[in-house]
Amino acid sequence: MLTLIRKLIKNKFIKNVTIIASGTALAQVIAFASIPFITRIYGPEAFGILGTFTSISSFVLPIAALTYPIAIVIPKSDIEAKDIMRLSLIVCLLIGLLSVALILIFSDTLLHLLNLEVLGSYLYLIPVAIVVAGGFQVIEQWIIRTQEFKVSAKTAIYQALIMNSSKIGIGLYYPLSVTLIVIQTFAYAIRGLLMISLSDKSIIKKQGSFNFKKMLKVACRYRDFPLYRSPQIFVNSASVALPTILLTAFFGPSAAGYFTLGRQVLNTPVTLLGKAVQDVFYPKIIEVSNDNKSIKNIILKAVLGLFSLGALPFGILIIFGPNIFSFIFGYEWYTAGVYARWISLFSLFMLITRPVIAAIPVLNMQRQFLFYEIVSAIIKLSALFIGVYYFNSDIYAVAFYSLSAMFLYIILTAYVLVIAKDISRYRR
């Protein structure tokens, strides 16, 4: 037993996950410790407006640079990686400018049709968020490439301190949804600057130079990312964002506020821990695949490990969610606890699929994953509409959405494990 523990301690992969997870855990403690104060400063309606803004912006933020930044980790040459960085920054600037034009032309009509007039001029912050998010994605992927995992851990902690203290401090004087939205918009900028300041500065060292022909060559070489990964992420973002938008449209900002808090409390640890695993797992799985070894076993071990880690806390929330939420956040948030019962089901399985999703580019499964995401989005949103139209109930809508998402994550995990048996058939 002691020998096994020593091996685990010395294992580089385990060590890197532990470094990021420790930073994630402390950031999580800070975030959770802040939420009871934040929920007593801002009411369900303010949270609902924030959730709706976040949901709309989440359609484009994950693809702010058409997912080209994800490719930064792949090249053996740092010069080529820097070319991908330059390409990514140009793309996100162009998308930011395009979004300004679209908002100027269509915002009033869309807000009226969707009954989302509460957002008003907040939409004009979305282009800013796009540029900021694209820049952050570039910085983050370079940090992953250089395996500076301590930097990721530290910035998670510092960002949590800055963001949550700002929400509380500014909220004491301006307890409005605009406060939450502005802080949320600049979150990526804060973390990106922290990453640069704490890194070895290799990201700002000049390697190569801008050349339009080289940009086109790089864009073509990694075209699978904008062609398949971007639509996949867009569809996934839509399926995640639309519940909040629809809850606002059909049941008002308060219902969206309950859903936003429930999802934030549950998905924040899932996102941070899952991302910590995925960030370390991605370069590891590339390394194993380059040796023509099967990656099935390391995926399976990661999946089972994450399931064993998450089963107990999520199980407690399924049983005692409403009481826990009303005790911690105040009685007006009891309904958020009811939502959380159902959200817990798919959050657990969302966590265990992080290693699975990290393996998809390595297995060259972008096309299959895009098809999966389209079918998945249709099924989840259909389930939500059943709750809205046939039962006229926000609780049923959240329950049906969550159950369908859970089963779809199980199917994805099983399918990728089958494909991963023989990596040589699927390599790029």
Kindly report the three-state secondary structure assignment for every residue of the chain: CHHHHHHHHHCHHHHHHHHHHHHHHHHHHHHHHHHHHHHHHCCHHHHHHHHHHHHHHCCCHHHCCCCHHHHHHCCCCHHHHHHHHHHHHHHHHHHHHHHHHHHHHHHHHHHHHCCCHHHHHHHHHHHHHHHHHHHHHHHHHHHHHCCCHHHHHHHHHHHHHHHHHHHHHHHCCCCCHHHHHHHHHCHHHHHHHHHHHHCCCHHHCCCCCCCHHHHHHHHHHCCHHHHHHHHHHHHHHHHHHHHHHHHHHHHCHHHHHHHHHHHHHHHHHHHHHHHHHHHHHHHHHHHHHHCCCCCHHHHHHHHHHHHHHHHHHHHHHHHHHHHHHHHHHCHHHHHHHHHHHHHHHHHHHHHHCHHHHHHCCCCCCHHHHHHHHHHHHHHHHHHHHHHHHHCCCHHHHHHHHHHHHHHHHHHHHHHHHHHCCCHHHCCC
Q: What pLDDT is stored for residue 12 in this prediction? A: 65
**pTM exceeding the 0.75 threshold for the entire prediction:** no
pLDDT at residue number 383: 95
pLDDT score recorded for residue 86: 92
The model's pLDDT over 333-357, given as tens digits with 9 standing for 90+, comes to: 999 999 999 999 989 999 889 888 8
pLDDT value for 379: 94
Q: Which range scores top for mean pLDDT: 9-13, 291-295, 383-387?
A: 383-387
pLDDT band at 4 (very low <50, low <70, confident <90, very high): very low
**Is residue 13 scored above 80 in pLDDT?**
no
pLDDT of residue 422: 65
Q: Is the pLDDT of residue 314 over 50?
A: yes
pLDDT of residue 424: 47
Q: What is the percent of the chain where pLDDT is above 90?
A: 40
pLDDT for res 205: 73
Of the ranges 25-39, 88-102, 378-392, 405-419, which one carries the lowest mean pLDDT score? 25-39
**In this model, does residue 245 exceed pLDDT 80?**
yes
What number is the average pLDDT over the span 60-77? Answer: 90
How confident is the model at residue 425, as a pLDDT? Answer: 52
Report the pLDDT value the prediction gives residue 428, as an integer from 0 to 100: 46
Ranges 5-14, 38-47, 285-294, 381-390: which has the least confidence: 5-14
Lowest mean pLDDT among 170-179, 189-198, 224-233: 224-233
Q: What is the pLDDT of residue 180?
A: 94
Instruction: Give the residue extent of every domain in the chain.
Output: 18-222, 255-428
Tell me the range of 90-94, 107-111, 345-349, 371-375 where mean pLDDT is highest. Answer: 90-94
Tell me what the pLDDT averaged over the chain comes to: 86
pLDDT at 3 over 60: no
As a whole number, mean pLDDT of residues 226-254 equals 86
Decide if pLDDT at 396 tops 90.
yes
pLDDT for position 296: 84
Greater model confidence, 252 or 92? 92
| pLDDT in the model for residue 11 | 61
pLDDT in tens, 100-146: 999 999 888 888 877 788 787 889 999 999 999 999 999 999 998 98
Q: What is the mean pLDDT of residues 307-334?
A: 90
Look at residue 9 and tell me whether its pLDDT is greater than 60: no
Question: Does 305 score more than 80 pLDDT?
Answer: yes
Please check the confidence at residue 288 and state whether its pLDDT lies above 90.
no
